[in-house]
Structure formats: structure tokens, C-alpha cells
Amino acid sequence: MNQVLEKYLPERAVQSCFELIKSNGVHLKIVNHRVTRHGDYRRMPNGMHQITINASLNKYRFLITLVHEIAHLVAFEKFGRRIKPHGREWKQTFQQLMLPFIRPEIFPTKLLPVIANHFKNPKASSSTDANLAIALKTFDVEERKHSYVFELPIGSTFRIYNGKLFKKGNKRIKRFECTEVSTGRLYLFQPNAEVELIKDI
């Protein structure tokens, strides 16, 4: 297991993560890239705890995602299965489990303040914290082929992962109002949503 984890995690986080996996009886599956999620936790009918994580994540996002999913398991076991998946109990558990990892031996110095800020009140997904998502993205191995919504000019047209086209509108507090070209329906996009700019339409 350690050899597998070494491939996906920061070196100094491997042993602690292995102990978290082992002590909580986690069956870890590393899977192909999924657009809609980085990872998930599921209690199997036989009582086993299965966590799946995308193999495509960089090692810092992989670590945060792994601890995020283990926090679900620990919170459900401690507080019961009626708690909200991303409620107060999960947030506290996630903070406690993540704290030993938030140090310069594991995360690059420039990431640490962004991560520390995120964990004051962790979100349901690291992707919904635009500052953290963009900071983590700089460590991706693959060259970025897409643009972020916040980078596009107002009025420009873009395509999302499923092929649908949208026109970018104004910012509403944190997110951008974007109109689906085919239906005229209005949607709100996170500023760090990755999209493909359409230059000619």
C-alpha cells in the first residue's frame, strides 16, 4: 500500500495517510478521472468503507481529497449517519484530521496560507473555494488547455465539458451569471470553473 501511496501523495504524508487508511478500515480505490468529483466515500452493504479518488489529481489535491473522504467516514462513525454530509460535525472532523498535514514539510510554502485559510471553514469541495482551487491547479502536471470563467471577457461564449455553450454575464457576489446559448436559461458559474473559450461563433 505504501508504494501505491508514494505515487500519489507528498512523500512526508505517506506514512500518516497509510495509518489513517489502516486504522479506519478503508478500502481505497484509485480510479480514472471523473469530471464531477475528485473522490467519494461509500459504506458498502458488507460494512466495508470504500473510498475512491481520481488518479489524475496532483499530490496535494489527492491528499486533501483523501482526508476529506476519511473525515466523512470518521464523522459518521462518531456522530451517527443522520448528520449532514458537509455539516458542522464533518467540518470539525476534517479540520482535526487535516491539521497534522498543514506544515512546510508536506505543502509548498506558497500553498500553506491558502490551505490554512480554507480550513478555517472547509467547503464541501476544494473546487468551490476558488482561491484554493486555482492555487492547487498550479501544481498539475498536465499543461492547462482551458480557461477559467473569471479570465474571460464579459459577453464571450464558452463551452463546458459536456459540450453545452454559454455566454458570460456579470458577476453576482462570488459567481458569474452565464446564459445557456441554446435555451436562454441563466446559470451561476464558479469563477474557477474550467471552460473552453469559443473565439468564432
Q: Judge whether 16 and 38 are in contact, CB under 8 Å.
A: no
- The pLDDT assigned to 200 comes to 58
Same domain, 181 and 91: no
Question: 183 phi and psi, to 5 degrees?
Answer: -115, -20
Q: How far is 76 from 89, CA to CA, in rounded Å?
A: 9
- For residue 84, what are the domain limits? 2-137
Would you state the pLDDT for residue 94?
97
Domains held by the chain: number: 2
Let me know if residue 99 belongs to a domain.
yes
> For the chain, what percentages of helix, strand and coil (3-state, to nearest 5) are there?
40, 20, 40
pLDDT at 50: 95
Give per-residue pLDDT as tens, 96-135.
Answer: 999 999 999 999 999 999 999 999 999 888 888 888 988 9
Residue range 160-189: average pLDDT? 93
pLDDT for 151 equals 86
Burial class (CB in 10 A: 0-12, 13-18, 19+), 19: exposed
In angstroms, the CA 160 to CA 97 distance is 34
Instruction: List phi, psi (to 5°) of 128.
Output: -85, -10
Tell me how far apart the alpha carbons of residues 82 and 84 are, in angstroms, rounded to a whole number: 7
pLDDT at 142: 65
DSSP E strands in 144-184: the ranges are: 147-148, 157-159, 165-172, 175-180
In whole angstroms, give the CA distance from residue 126 to residue 133. Answer: 6
The answer to whether position 115 is within a domain reads yes
Indicate whether 177 pLDDT > 90.
Answer: yes
Tell whether 172 and 112 lie within a shared domain: no
Residue 33 falls inside a structural domain:
yes
| 60-108 pLDDT tens trace | 999 999 999 999 999 999 999 899 999 999 999 999 999 999 999 999 9
Q: Are residues 102 and 7 in the same domain?
A: yes
* Same domain? 119 vs 152: no
Any idea which residue has 484509485 for its cell? Answer: 30
* 42: CATH: 3.30.2010
Same domain, 51 and 127: yes
The answer on 152 and 125 residing in a single domain is no
pLDDT digits (tens, 9 = 90+) for 127-171: 888 889 889 988 987 655 678 898 899 999 999 988 999 999 999
- For residue 123, what pLDDT is reported? 87
